Structure 1
Amino acid sequence: MTVARKPAPAAGRQTITISFAGFNRAWAAWIGDRLTRHGHEVVFQRWDLLPGTTIESALEDLMLAEGRILVVLSDWYFQLGPRTHLDWNRALRTVVAENSDRFAAVSITAEALPTAATVFRAAELWGIGAEEAERRLLRRLGIQPTGVTTPEESRTGPRFPDDDPMVWGGVPRRNIRFTGRETLLSDIYHQFQRAPRGAAVCTLFGLSGVGKTQVAAEYVYRFRSEYDVVWWVSADQRGTLRQRLAELAPALDLATGPEYGERLRAVNDALRRGEPHSHWLLVLDGADDPQLVADLVPTGPGHVLITSQNLAWGEHNSELMEVPVYTREESVAFVRRRARRLAPEEADRLAEALGDLPLLLDQTAGWLSDSVMSVDEYVELLDSGSDVEVGLKVAADFPMTFQTAWSILLNRLRETVPESVDLLRLCVFFAPGSIPIGWVRRLPTRELPESLTGLVNDPLRWTEASNKLVQYSVVRRETHESAADDSEILHMHRMVHQTVRDGVPEANREEFSRVVRSALAKADPGQPDDSRQWQRYAELVKHLRSASVLESTDPDAQQLVLNCLAYMTNSGEHGTGLELVGRALTAWRVALGDDHPRVRDLVNQQLSLLLAAGDDAEAARIGRESMARLDAENDPQDLEVLRMADGIAAALRGLGEYEEALALSDQVLTGYRELFGDRDPRTLNAMNNLAVSLRTIGRYEESLRLDRQTLDGRREVLGPRHRFTMLSEFNYAWTLRMLGRYDEAVSVQERSVQANRRVLGRDHPQTLIAEHSLAMCQYRAGDRLKAKTDMGGTLERLERVLGDGHPWTLIAAANYACAEREHGDLDRARVIGESVMRRYRESLGPAHPYAIGTSVNHALMLRAAGERHDATRLTEECLRAMTAAVGSDHPWTLGIALNLSVARNLSDDHEAAEQLSRDTARRATAVLGPHHPLVLSCRVAHASDLRGLRRQQEADKEEGEALAALAATLGSQHVHTVSARSRTHPHWDFEPLAS
């Protein structure tokens, strides 16, 4: 056949077409970069033999490309199709040998290539360094170097393919049998290139076993030369993801302490800034629940690749890309690489029987490779189900052929290494994903059943069994930097896990489950309050369901459950914690009865989780039911009674039952002091809670004294970086702000925020509310524009982490709406404010102080929008309602009275305004003292009312005294002082309390 060909290129600047297999893209990119640096134009042509295309025609099509053709030779280049070496030898002799002036080649493999490949006269690039590889490349093409490449130039552009990124962690071993997916891999690459900075997030989705993880791993290896940092994370659990992200800190050489939260914060900041590396790739593998981990996905100049079965990632600013089952051509090619003895027709029949599902193709072809069974016999077994173990299935909606396929695989394992089946069955009583199977080997022999003693205590048998599971792709090994040397970790796919577990004989289930429960209990560090142990608890929590720990009556297992729930309360994992505590309560009540001490401990954990999640009504209901049973048999000073009363008081505060909450808090503190003294952590907790109760009823000075005592005590007893100590700093600063001591509040809260970020991490709920409180302190101190911006950012993060209906989110939203009303977008402020007001009315009722208070804020919004009549009417209603709710002398009531007096003044009802402002100023002075900002605002309003009645001398005296006090208290340039001096009408914003 005569081929129309382009003439050989002239000397000097050349156009060079690089032909490469997709598997070797990194090499092509590096070669192209080197040639471009020497002044030549490069065109990339991925080599892809389509079904039905001969090698000869493909090579002839390649010759239509402009310029010289440089072929990147590897075993992958010749395997595409697949075609035999005989096919290749014939094509190379026919096309390449006759057009040798158009072709050049480099070889990047040590594998045997077709004999006729010698026609390329390839330069060998494998096994040498970058500089020598570049010299050989240029020599083969007859190119004279344009100059010496400097070290700085060598570090730019694609990295030499044999050099790994500077930071490389957790990436699974490359699958040398990876097949196809060329278009998908290219689409992922181009999607990342098109994405704007901070939005390069791509999610690979598809059914279990379709090869999402393999595609992600192949993407990493193909494009690793374009990244400085590649970090692979198993993301099926929130705690695990946070742990692995924190482990990136030392890998990036970030200057951090040992605290978990500090590392996590530093990593997020480094990735966001792109310092020290802007070209980073983070892979989140198995992130099947976006609600749990979406807020942990970092932003910045790098790329995030997610694998998941969940399409909901599309709602979290991620581009979705489906990983389908193999095409039949891909299946055949893959099977023939996995089992070389199979003919194309046999591979086709096997692919048909297994539905082209990559995971099953991999496992089945793996053992068929060295089995005497023919494909026809295997397919017959699939069709008939005969001679296989029954009871196994992949999933309920998969066809029977998959069920039978797993039976055949297990039979094969049983025939070769029987212990591997025992090990496999032991694994499935952990949760799928990362399985810390090494924990089992720490158990004493007496806690092992006889059937497992030999396996666990014999390292050779154990290793042989685990190796066999890895060999057949049932599991893969993982390594974590944080794991102990003996903590062997196996990774099991979710579908494999379900299939094997369903097939465990009933007689063995409790035996295997008990072993895993013992291993988990032994791994419990026993310190759920210590944030340094949270990564261990994150790993433990994920296995509680699978090992039936929640239903166990073993005391060690029950203590593990209680500790895990305490960890979840402390770390902010409230939703999952409530689900687990509900399941455990159902089981424990049946086994132990409602009045068993363990059940009461569990109820207390439930109360803590409900309170942390903001469900005060349910917490109060459960607490009162439990207290009724305790009152019948326990002394009022009994520890269990005190603990339950403390929880009920917290719930009552949330429900607005402040006086009852105060009485209970006082009772609890008295009881703990008598039992344990002033410096016991339980007494300090009770002291903290009494201070909160005092704050809710407006007794700020008393609250501040207790806050100070609690803070000092916790610093002494718990240490400065304990979560409760940092919570006391937050409470102390909050009360300072309520007293108008804004600069002091800022000083305390700044330190508190830094501590929370270091210890708990930026996205822990306590850190977020601490950041919001700091913004409020700064806002009150006069730094309003910056504070408003910070409040908006914190509100967005609270909505993401806790949801827009959580009490702390509503607090932040209420305050932000007020700031936007005064210094921002009035329409946006109105939307946010009305939403908060509606939520409080619906969840707490219209008579709750928070519903009333946010209605007052809405009245101020109406006034700002010019709707004065409606604003005045609503403020009058709120004054009556708040008086009924908390009394006439509560600071909240006094603040509403101030707003109403101003509203009357603006309506020219000066006499009624003056009477109200005079009375409000008098009562506020008695409650808050003469120098509190609310008192001085009342006096400024009173001066304005006097002026409206033409009582100028009285007005001047009142205004002068108020201005002097404001200047002395807040400073002459504070916004309140400046506003009063310019005779701007004062107002009071309602601020919900963190209870």
Structure 2
Amino acid sequence: MVAILAVVAVLLFLVGADDRTQNVVQSITGVAALIATLATIRTSAPTAVLAPDTSPASAAPVASPLNDRPIQVWSTPPRNPHFTGRETELRALAVALSADRVVSVSALHGLGGVGKTHLALEFAYRHQDTLDTAWWVRAEEAATIPAQMAAFATALGVDAGDDPLAAVRAELGRRSGWLLVFDNVEDFAVLRDAIPTRGDGWVLITTRRTGAEAFGQVLSMDVLRRTESVRLLEDRLPELSATVADRLADLVGDLPLALVQAASYIRQTGIPVTEYVRLLESRLGDMVGRGYVVDRDGTTIATLWQVTLERLRAGTPAAVQLLEVCAWLDPDAIPLDLFTNHPNELPSPLSEAAADPVAFADAVGILVAFSLIRRDGTNIAVHRLLQASVRATTPAALTEAVALLDTAAPEKVYGRPRNWPSWRELLPHVLTATSYPEATTIDPDRMDRMLAGAGAFLQTQGQYSDAEPLLRRALSLTEATHGPDHPRVAIRLNNLAKAMRDLKRPGEAVPLAHRALAINEAIHGPDHPSVAIRLNSVAMALQDLGQSDEAEPLLRRALAINESVNGPDHSSVAIRLHNLARVLRDLERPGEAEPLARRALAISEAVHGPDHPTVAIRLHNLAQVLLDLERPSDAEPFARRALSIDEAAYGPNHPDVAIRLNGIARVLEALGRPSEAEPFARRAADIQPRLNLSTADGQE
């Protein structure tokens, strides 16, 4: 009778457990095993069955041992039925916890929302057949841990007494086959008294903070791989195409919580996926708070980091200010010297911290410690959704970001290759900071300089189509700020005209160049160096239109101005000589062009040195003049030297490199060496279609 009552009690108990945490198959299997065990009992004391633990720490009731085989003590939350990917991480965790130690301790570390908790859950469920005990401790609030450990002691059948942590440690020291999870640890101090030092079991810690190395091996978790992100979305939204899923995953940066939140919002609201994607593209900051995730107790991307940030704001405000400025920059490769080189552009107390290497290292370190940023040497990175969440409440930080970039970015770009590395590093951040609607409220002169500088840099790199909208924005901003006839407007018109020529649209360049010329003539008179620049621009556009006869007098006038004002050996004189030589070639007067081209080369070598990209332009032009004069053997060394300079300056795929390659191919053809010419011509052809480039050979 006692055995029958025990079976009934256990059956009822397991059905209850199924309602809370385990599936029906597991319950039936457990009951069958117990009945089989009881059938072998001839004489036995009654089996005690503990009532379910209703404390928050426990998700399932506990049974005492039966024939030395305990029923599982199991308090883990429900398994995620949509768990996707992470096989590499699960294997790594299994290896780490299988190390030859009495108690194996490992930690999962990463950004909030990256999936640490669900990975720990999946690990527990995959190993439940080898575990007698698995206990889950919600550790974000250190003050609640003793109560949860007291509940664990009760579940283990031991008296917690005045020190539940010690009671649990002692009991687990006598057991094997157990897993103890401390989820979302914020304060590691309490773990020193909570982690067992004896017994054959596993301890798993999940945390956003660095420092878990003191307890065991740390496995850092990143966002999902793109294929895993797509699979997660397709699992929750079967109607989703792979292309749209890929775009959605890209927009939320492959962050698991954000992916789940997005899928939930789409499912709950019925919004078409393409419309949701458009909202993410245009209003990411507004969308990060939308979408209810069932197992996150109301937590969304918008609220995920708020508690941590408020805590940091009270203790280390400089660190929070650093994050706020970074929120308005590109998420990747943010150079730390952007802050340390320009502390006066920053708010206090960040400005003081940026001026002090120790204080700044502390500010960066605290953000790294809480997984709010990643550091890679001299750069840091921030997840794009964390940025969006921070931007929503810190619009003033955009002004500080723009001020930093404006101060750091070199103003001179054209013909200044020494400034290009700085622009290459800052360009993603300039493009990001100037793209926000809020940027329209920023100091217009700062915005103008950044847009114009970014456009100019893109021109030097052969990215003409990307440069055009930036140059047009700079022009519009300058006109609105200073009026239509300001000298800075003439500069912006001139640069846009150059972009039109680069894009093979000289018909659009001519009116822009003429307007710039008229502005400068009205302000400075007919003989000012700025007028010479504008005359040159008009002439180059006319040449592109096949009107070299009209271009020649404009260039001769520009040359006369520069020689008179700047002297015969000025760099501006070299530009006029170079362009006049090109026009004379078009007019089939190469004999007149040669001395001009040689003089331009000599001036540029004297001004810039022998290996400057400007010298490559001069060398190429002289080689083409010599080719026109049917002297290809004289032209070859100039053409090869020009290619060598540009490849060193720009790399192998720049439009100027394509021009030099074509120049050598022409020379080799003229020398009767077509087999040598062919690979140069083929390389040039490969570059130009890929970049959609102009084939102009060296206008300035």
TM value normalised by structure 1: 0.42
- What amino acid does structure 2 have at the position aligned with 1:760? Y
1:437–1:501 CA distance, 2 compared to 1 (3 A): farther
**Superposition pairs of residues 79-90 of structure 1, within 5 angstroms:** 81-83=123-125, 87-88=129-130
- What amino acid does structure 2 have at the position aligned with 1:206? D
- What amino acid does structure 2 have at the position aligned with 1:88? T
Report % sequence identity: 21
What's the Cα RMSD here?
4.2
**2:278 alignment counterpart:** none
Find the residue that maps to 2:375 and give its secondary structure.
strand
- What amino acid does structure 2 have at the position aligned with 1:707? A
Shift of the alpha carbon at 1:579? 1.7
Instruction: Check whether the contact 2:463–2:691 (CA below 8 A) recurs between aligned residues.
Output: no
Find the residue that maps to 1:656 and give its secondary structure.
coil
**2:534 alignment counterpart:** 644
What does the per-residue CA deviation read over 1:763-811, in whole Å, with 9 as the maximum and x for residues that have no partner? Answer: 11111110111011101110113323431232122111235xx345xx9
Instruction: Check whether the contact 1:585–1:602 (CA below 8 A) recurs between aligned residues.
Output: yes
TM value normalised by structure 2: 0.59
**Superposition pairs of residues 649-660 of structure 1, within 5 angstroms:** 649-660=539-550
1:668–1:748 CA distance, 2 compared to 1 (3 A): same
**2:207 alignment counterpart:** none
Kindly indicate whether residue 323 of structure 2 is the aligned counterpart of residue 424 of structure 1.
yes
1:670–1:563 CA distance, 2 compared to 1 (3 A): same
Kindly indicate whether residue 558 of structure 2 is the aligned counterpart of residue 518 of structure 1.
no
Instruction: Check whether the contact 2:301–2:389 (CA below 8 A) recurs between aligned residues.
Output: no
* Structure-2 separation of matches of 1:174 and 1:779: 63
* Structure-2 separation of matches of 1:76 and 1:500: 40
* Structure-1 separation of matches of 2:98 and 2:634: 68
Kindly indicate whether residue 101 of structure 2 is the aligned counterpart of residue 75 of structure 1.
no
1:174–1:181 CA distance, 2 compared to 1 (3 A): farther
Instruction: Check whether the contact 2:289–2:302 (CA below 8 A) recurs between aligned residues.
Output: no
What does the per-residue CA deviation read over 1:597-625, in whole Å, with 9 as the maximum and x for residues that have no partner? Answer: 22222222223333333321111111112
- What amino acid does structure 1 have at the position aligned with 2:367? L
- Give aligned pairs, total: 472
Structure 2, unmatched stretches of 5+, are 1-28, 30-78, 82-93, 105-119, 134-172, 179-216, 232-242, 266-282, 294-298
* Structure-1 separation of matches of 2:442 and 2:306: 29
What does the per-residue CA deviation read over 1:641-697, in whole Å, with 9 as the maximum and x for residues that have no partner? Answer: 211111010000000111110110111001111111111111111111111111111
* Structure-2 separation of matches of 1:623 and 1:601: 10
**Superposition pairs of residues 552-951 of structure 1, within 5 angstroms:** 553=443, 562-803=452-693, 806-808=694-696
**2:290 alignment counterpart:** 399
Instruction: Check whether the contact 1:746–1:774 (CA below 8 A) recurs between aligned residues.
Output: yes
- What amino acid does structure 1 have at the position aligned with 2:338? W
**2:271 alignment counterpart:** none
1:767–1:180 CA distance, 2 compared to 1 (3 A): closer
Kindly indicate whether residue 427 of structure 2 is the aligned counterpart of residue 541 of structure 1.
yes
* Structure-2 separation of matches of 1:174 and 1:730: 58
1:747–1:442 CA distance, 2 compared to 1 (3 A): closer
Instruction: Check whether the contact 1:646–1:665 (CA below 8 A) recurs between aligned residues.
Output: yes
**Superposition pairs of residues 949-960 of structure 1, within 5 angstroms:** none
* Structure-1 separation of matches of 2:687 and 2:284: 42
Kindly indicate whether residue 328 of structure 2 is the aligned counterpart of residue 441 of structure 1.
no
What does the per-residue CA deviation read over 1:435-491, in whole Å, with 9 as the maximum and x for residues that have no partner? Answer: 22442233354x444464455456666555434433443321122xxxxxxxx5221
* Structure-2 separation of matches of 1:553 and 1:180: 39
Instruction: Check whether the contact 2:655–2:687 (CA below 8 A) recurs between aligned residues.
Output: no
* Structure-2 separation of matches of 1:174 and 1:689: 63
1:584–1:526 CA distance, 2 compared to 1 (3 A): closer
- What amino acid does structure 2 have at the position aligned with 1:523? A
Instruction: Check whether the contact 1:574–1:609 (CA below 8 A) recurs between aligned residues.
Output: yes
1:74–1:744 CA distance, 2 compared to 1 (3 A): same
Instruction: Check whether the contact 2:288–2:388 (CA below 8 A) recurs between aligned residues.
Output: no
* Structure-1 separation of matches of 2:226 and 2:529: 66
* Structure-1 separation of matches of 2:699 and 2:312: 63
* Structure-2 separation of matches of 1:730 and 1:675: 28
* Structure-2 separation of matches of 1:611 and 1:411: 54
* Structure-2 separation of matches of 1:550 and 1:395: 19
1:406–1:553 CA distance, 2 compared to 1 (3 A): closer
**Superposition pairs of residues 173-188 of structure 1, within 5 angstroms:** 176-177=220-221
Instruction: Check whether the contact 1:619–1:651 (CA below 8 A) recurs between aligned residues.
Output: yes
1:492–1:450 CA distance, 2 compared to 1 (3 A): closer
Find the residue that maps to 2:374 and give its secondary structure.
strand
Instruction: Check whether the contact 1:742–1:780 (CA below 8 A) recurs between aligned residues.
Output: yes
* Structure-1 separation of matches of 2:494 and 2:425: 23
Instruction: Check whether the contact 1:393–1:502 (CA below 8 A) recurs between aligned residues.
Output: no
**Superposition pairs of residues 285-324 of structure 1, within 5 angstroms:** none
- What amino acid does structure 2 have at the position aligned with 1:82? A
Find the residue that maps to 1:678 and give its secondary structure.
coil
1:460–1:522 CA distance, 2 compared to 1 (3 A): same
- What amino acid does structure 2 have at the position aligned with 1:431? D
Structure 1, unmatched stretches of 5+, are 2-49, 53-71, 92-111, 118-172, 188-202, 211-307, 311-322, 332-349, 358-391, 480-487, 812-992
1:597–1:527 CA distance, 2 compared to 1 (3 A): closer
**2:162 alignment counterpart:** none
- What amino acid does structure 2 have at the position aligned with 1:436? P
Shift of the alpha carbon at 1:525? 4.5
Instruction: Check whether the contact 1:757–1:767 (CA below 8 A) recurs between aligned residues.
Output: yes
**1:818 alignment counterpart:** none
Kindly indicate whether residue 229 of structure 2 is the aligned counterpart of residue 206 of structure 1.
no
* Structure-1 separation of matches of 2:357 and 2:328: 21
- What amino acid does structure 1 have at the position aligned with 2:301? A
Instruction: Check whether the contact 2:285–2:388 (CA below 8 A) recurs between aligned residues.
Output: yes
**2:388 alignment counterpart:** 498
Shift of the alpha carbon at 1:417? 3.6
1:729–1:495 CA distance, 2 compared to 1 (3 A): same
* Structure-1 separation of matches of 2:604 and 2:462: 21
* Structure-2 separation of matches of 1:515 and 1:741: 58
- What amino acid does structure 2 have at the position aligned with 1:541? L
* Structure-2 separation of matches of 1:204 and 1:424: 31
* Structure-2 separation of matches of 1:725 and 1:444: 38
What does the per-residue CA deviation read over 1:195-245, in whole Å, with 9 as the maximum and x for residues that have no partner? Answer: xxxxxxxx998356x5xxxxxxxxxxxxxxxxxxxxxxxxxxxxxxxxxxx
- What amino acid does structure 2 have at the position aligned with 1:430? L
Q: 2:364 aligns with which of 456, 466, 476?
A: 466
Instruction: Check whether the contact 1:630–1:641 (CA below 8 A) recurs between aligned residues.
Output: yes
**Superposition pairs of residues 270-419 of structure 1, within 5 angstroms:** 355=263, 394=285, 396=287, 399-401=290-292, 404-418=300-314, 419=317
What does the per-residue CA deviation read over 1:178-211, in whole Å, with 9 as the maximum and x for residues that have no partner? Answer: 69979969x9xxxxxxxxxxxxxxx998356x5x
1:83–1:596 CA distance, 2 compared to 1 (3 A): same
